[in-house]
Structure 1
Amino acid sequence: MAKARKLKVFQAHFGFYDTIVAAPSQAAAMQAWGVHRNVFDDGRAKLTTEEAAVAAANAHPGTVLKRPVGSDGPFEVEPTSLPELPDVPHGKATRRTGKPAATKAPPPPPSDRSMLSKAEAALRAVDERRKAEEAELDERQAALDAEMAAAEETYVEARRLAQARVATALKAYREAGGRD
């Protein structure tokens, strides 16, 4: 019987939520969170021993549980509450630096994908031609194999008959007094 791997509970902050997951390793936790870079290296994720978090995560191993950031509420699969946002002052905000606010540059236009699409289509065409070529070569090889088998069979039968004639002629020669 295989021994079950001990689960550890990992915690990370993503967006508006604190998250936890019970997993056997950091890699498994990152997979559950759906992240590809190591969030443990930059300190965004860590092992937790908080009793309530450990109990909740172990009740749903491998499932990411969330709670609004900054709250001490329970971790849930789909939390219904949103995080509390601080009061934002109304009116004009003053800047400490005295520098004008930087304006956001408009996003760049979407890249032209037409060249990539053409290249991908050309690659597919090359692959399709190769598949057709391989199918044709396989058919020709099968025909050659059949022809070779038939030729081998014809040779074996002709040689058997020729050997029988040699044996018969040798027997008649010896009976007639001939020597090898």
Structure 2
Amino acid sequence: MARKLKTYQTSLGFFDLAIAAPSMKAALEAWGADSNLFHQGAAKESVDPDIVAATMAKPGVVLRRPVGSAGSFGEHAELPTDLGDPGPTKATCKSKARTAKQPSSRPIDKAAERKAALAFEKGQKRRERERASEEAARQKDRERRQQAVDKAQAALNKAEQEHAKRAATIQTEVEALEKRSQAEQARWDKEKGRLEAALRRARG
């Protein structure tokens, strides 16, 4: 059964944000908040009939309007035009506070609420499928890269073994040549000694 949606509102950067979500946690995730704005007093549940109607029409979608304005929420909003103003006066703040505290006179449409909740749940499942598909693609890419790494490592290991084998063969040949060289030097020393002795005898 779809969970009942509530409308939550906050301000981030240059915009007021609103969303219809089943919980504060879901709202924070949709806003991309890295801290609990509700505990900090920076976010709240909204009962404004216009805001509730706008969010329920697009459940799970973050709606925006320029920060501090009283305009309607939408998926896209222009930047506020009064950023250089000194800010709201006390009278304006009191007026807004009184307006915010007024209870909604619009009757609650249970059928619309259920429809919005079902739409949110459907959208959430779609987003979960998209995330799962993206994660599967990333996992496949990681496996492909790992296979390439394993193949390259195996080729390097094989080349190192072949090099070690050839180096060992060359070293054996070097040692054999060194041994032959020493034997030849010993033979020559002996032969040279014999011939020099014969030369001395011949010279008398």
User: Shorter-normalised TM-score: what interval?
Assistant: 0.3 to 0.5
Q: Quick check: which has more Rg, 1 or 2?
A: 2
Between 1 and 2, higher relative CO (CA 8 Å, sep ≥ 6) is seen in 2
Could you state the TM-score of these two structures normalised by the residue count of structure 1?
0.46
- TM-score of the pair, normalised by structure 2: 0.41
Name the structure with the higher helix share. 2
